[in-house]
Amino acid sequence: QLEMDKFPFVSLAKTYNTNAQVPDSAGTATAYLCGVKANEGTVGVSAAAVRSQCNTTEGNEVTSILRWAKDAGKSVGIVTTTRVNHATPSASYAHSVDRDWYSDNEMPAEALQAGCKDIARQLFENIPNIDVIMGGGRKYMFPKNTSDVEYPSVAKHSGTRKDERNLVQEWIDRMKDKKGHYVWNKKQLLS
């Protein structure tokens, strides 16, 4: 007999998207970070929002535990081994009908014209005072074709933003009178 067979109680977790039996990380992250089941491919919005349909975003945004904690005066952060604008971490701060809208470069023109924001932009605008953000995905925060600091000669690591915004510099400017620091390597992190 296994130790788990000796447990006095057993529970069942039902993991699914509202429109798919086998879930993706966007919908499941929305479920565990916001407490709401969601459609496949959407982050931080209820099941009333339809994937890739920008006009279904407004009014269907859901609040995450990150926001609740920040509003309660707690220190909050996102630490991930993937891009900070990937589906799982982004459900804590973003409201997007498409998990793949990492920067404005990945969004259709009609979504941009309708006022939908890309996920990287939402990281800096939706909850502007997150205390710690650690992870990848910086290319989605820099203007298109901006060379990466670590891989300057590798085109796939270059910035992707069509709006020419440098979200990292905007954040640094906003943190000028605070204790915020942007670091991208171990030496900077440890200093």
Amino acid sitting at position 139: K
Phi, psi (rounded to 5 degrees) for 83? -65, 140
The residues carrying an active-site annotation are 25
| CATH number of the domain residue 131 falls in | 3.40.720.10
Residue 30 marked as a ligand binder: no
Tokens of 42: 């959407």
Mean pLDDT of 160-170: 98
Q: Which pLDDT belongs to residue 180?
A: 87
H or E stretch covering 77: strand 77-83
Neighbours of 62 (CB within 10 A): 20
CB 22 within 8 A of CB 54: no
Domain count for the chain, please give it.
Answer: 1
Q: Which pLDDT belongs to residue 109?
A: 97
pLDDT tens digit sequence for 88-139 = 999 999 999 999 999 999 999 999 999 999 999 999 999 988 999 999 999 9
Nearest to 68 by CA among 105, 20, 35, 19: 35
Q: Which pLDDT belongs to residue 128?
A: 86
- Measured between alpha carbons, how far is 96 from 101 in angstroms, rounded to an integer? 8
Tokens of 156: 């796939």
Q: Which pLDDT belongs to residue 13?
A: 81
With vertex at residue 116, the alpha carbon angle to CA 115 and CA 118, rounded to the nearest 5 degrees, is 130
Q: Which pLDDT belongs to residue 179?
A: 85
pLDDT tens digit sequence for 28-57 = 999 999 999 999 999 999 999 999 999 999
In this model, does residue 12 exceed pLDDT 90?
no
pLDDT band at 147 (very low <50, low <70, confident <90, very high): very high
Residue 88 marked as a ligand binder: yes
Q: Which structural domain range is residue 164 located in?
A: 3-190
Q: Which pLDDT belongs to residue 96?
A: 99
Mean pLDDT, all residues of the chain: 96
pTM metric for this prediction: 0.91
Q: What percent of the chain has pLDDT over 90?
A: 92
